[in-house]
Amino acid sequence: MSTSEKYAGSAFAVVATAIAIAMVRKKWGSRRPPYPPGPKGYPIIGNLFDFPQNPIWEGFARMSQEYNTDILHLDMMGSHMVVLNNSDVAADLLERRSLIYSDRPRMPMVNELMGCAWSFSVMHYGTTWRNHRRLFHRFFNISVADQFDDKIHKAVNVFLRRLAESPERFLKHVHFLTGSLTLSIAYGVDIESESDRFYAASEEAMSAVQVALLPGSFLVDAFPILKHIPEWFPGAGFKTFARKAKKDLDKLADLPFYHVKESFEAKTITDSSFTATCLEELPELAKNGVDEEAIRAVGATIFLAGEETTSSSIQAFFLAVTMHPEVVHLAQRELDEVLGGERLPDFSDKPRLPYISAVIKEVLRWKPPNPLGTPHRLMEDDVYEGWFIPAGATVFDNPWAVFHNESLYPDAHAFKPDRFLKDGQIDPDVKDPEVLIFGCGRRICPGRHFALRLLFLTIARTLAVFDISTCLDEDGNPIVPDGRSTHGLISHPLPFRSDIKPRSDQALSLIAGN
């Protein structure tokens, strides 16, 4: 057989194979169930022009209503996106089928260009993720949830004193509360001001991550090949953004870790922390696949993840009670009945403070810190309720849509803690945002027990000591905040003013010695 005949035969084989594959795909495509409902889209670009404007979680909720579906499907230039706007559907897929829904999308911007792949929050599902998650869970599971109570007490009391000294800076004080506390827990570092080098290292890094994780922020996530274009190329500003963010993230992860490591080796550790304990137990931990890099990565994840989400909820609390001062009065009446104004509330008081618990639940429902949820990636084809969800699809659970569903929470856009109460106690028949807000399945937030304890003590003690209301303008008219929030993956209230004053000298004296 001549060379030309061989090439002709090979070419024929390739063409025949391609035709066969195309026919199989066509046959399967015609026989498989349909995709979930969603806008029709256009060839090649799919639903690019249908992608909702900010805030996208509200846009997805409206789109779900428009197409009368709890499972929304969009084709983003060949990449499939599925948005779950119903908590029962989210539980069915992300929890009961977690074996195939526990991966994360590729995220070229965050993981590859910004270098954040060390965080198990965005890490692909696998052995490394399991090792990091197991290490985190060991320190934050519900059976040891109270081990950080002393640190929480100290941080909250510092927050209250800072609030009394400069109440106009309350939003900054909230950030400092959560940032200083997570630094103390992760590294045993006690800081006194925002200018501290460890605290300062985190601010810009966290802002960059929140922007980059929001779908649609950067085109490189849709076209990963763009990551190879040079930084000087027109339209490659994302490369400059990523380079700076990577430098900030590396600093966030390295600076406090190596500080603790040096102190550990010099035997000058003065305070307990996650990192110090892990370094001490490293010989034993190594048997389960833990090394120094894992300790460094998980420590940074504690700091990175814990600071933003909890500060968002505390700031949302201040926004809510500024807009609704009557909530403050009702909460203070309950606190006074239980405590008599003679001491600050503690964790043991929670069962006797149902209205405070209702306020916390309503804050989480009204302004969820992560309103779109964190993306999952489906690892193999799935069929649910007759709808086909393809492998590789990015899946969001959209907590905002659930929490603003009028059938679950009537008058859902209003702030009403009473919706969670019945006969003066928490109503078990109302869906609990504390259960839903942290995700579900194998990717559920492992720090949720710690976060809820911090929320309770901060909100209860703030209300015990301070009156909070709207500010007044020059004519004595109330300056009511408009309630708007940022549009990042973690959503914060936009800056607003609030009138914060001690309830009395006696109330102020409760924080003087703490």
SS3 labels along 201-267: HHHHHHHHHHHHHCCCCCHHHCCHHHHHCCCCCCCCHHHHHHHHHHHHHHHHHHHHHHHHHHHHHCC
**What residue type is assigned to position 39 of the chain?**
P
Write out the two tokens for 152.
Answer: 């929480």
DSSP state letter for 428? T
In this structure, the chain runs to a length of: 514
- CA dist., res. 359 & res. 370, Å (int): 18
**Identity of the residue numbered 236:** A
The answer to whether the CB of 273 falls within 8 A of the CB of 260 is yes
Strand 471-472 with 478-479, pairing? antiparallel
Can you spell out the DSSP letters for 447-504?
A: THHHHHHHHHHHHHHHHHHEEEE-EE-TTS-EE-----B--SSS--BPP---EEEES-
Q: What are the backbone dihedrals phi and psi of residue 80, each rounded to the nearest 5 degrees, phi first?
A: -90, 135
Q: What single-letter amino acid sits at 40?
A: K
**Binding-site residues for heme, please?**
445
Phi, psi of 375 (to 5 degrees): -65, 140
In 266-291, where does DSSP find H-type helix? 274-280, 282-285
Residue 24 CB coordination number (10 Å): 10
Q: ∠192-463-476 over CA atoms, to 5°?
A: 100
Residue numbers in the known binding site are: 445
* Cβ neighbours of residue 485 closer than 8 Å, sequence gap 6 or more: 55, 316, 367, 491, 492, 493, 494
SS3 72: strand
At 88, the amino acid letter reads D
